Amino acid sequence: MRLGVLDIGSNTGHLLVVDAHGGAAPLPASSYKEPLRLAEHLDGQGAVSQAGVDALVEFTAQAVRIADERGCAEMLAFATSAVRDSVNSETVLKTVHERTGVRLAVLSGEDEARLTFLAVRRWFGWSAGRLAVFDIGGGSLEIAGGSDEAPDAAWSLPLGAARLARTHFDVMPDAGALRALRRELHTEIARNAGSLLRAGRPDRAAATSKTFRSLARICGAAPAAEGLLVRRVLSLEVLRERMDELTRTAPEDLARLPGVSPSRAHQIVPGALVAEACMDVFDLTELEICPWALREGVILERIDQLPHLAVG
């Protein structure tokens, strides 16, 4: 069965087309994405701007055309925190439906964390033991942990890299402001940490998302060209060694670092601060990067609902 997954994130719109059947990993067939940056298309009242809505509609319409051309039997379309948190979310969803025919499902933060956890669990398998998963998106941070395929604890915080870039990084904060932001991040992340740690420390801690992948690459992880199966980690020690350099580097120079795209360069420092806070609060020396994340979780859950699917 060929599925299309339309992911309207806070940074990027992404259509992933996969061939899927029960008992096998989803096989990517094609990918189409655009940097919508919806988290930065919010006005002073917290509404997605008209420019943001127009870009979303244009991208969605093109995604529908591509999904049809690729022969998708079904398209799973969803939006995350930028649409979820906007004060005009109902209007945005209605406009997209009226102009493209696509009904976007708005995932809750808890569902984002739960589905991402499912993907990471399937990637690493049962040998990972008790698993903790962290995902820094554009608008939110998702955290989940547990020993099964469904997490014992899963929650979302408004600490996405694009959101923090918009609210705290019009210009690079000075040393005092960075210390204050670090305290704020640590306090917010620690607030519910006990819900994950109550059952014991994780046996394995993993991270997903472009922000974590970029940070790992900056800190020496293998490039994407070496393939998905290469082990990649983000070390807290190395991240701290690079932090001062990152805060002193202009955005245009950050964009030249390995693994950093120009559209996300301004999000690297806020993302690094969130990653550092996660590892500090949960007493982790490193996070292993998982190539599967929310989109794969959505696909896997859908496959699980169709046990009759067979090869071919």
| Residue whose token pair is 């005009």 | 88
Q: Note the pLDDT of residue 41.
A: 83
> What residue ranges define each of the domains in the chain, with the CATH number in brackets?
2-106 (3.30.420.40), 110-295 (3.30.420.150)
Q: Are 292 and 119 in contact (CB under 8 A)?
A: yes
**Locus of tokens 């698993």:** 131
Whether this model's pTM surpasses 0.85: yes
> Using one digit for the tens of pLDDT, what is the confidence trace for 6-35?
999 999 999 999 998 888 889 999 999 999
- Residue numbers in the chain where pLDDT is lower than 70: 307-312
Helix (H, G, I), strand (E, B) or coil at 10: coil
**Residues facing 288 on adjacent strands:** 206, 233
Q: What is the pLDDT of residue 310?
A: 47
Give the list of residues 6+ apart from residue 67 with CB closer than 8 angstroms, or none: 4, 6, 15, 17, 75
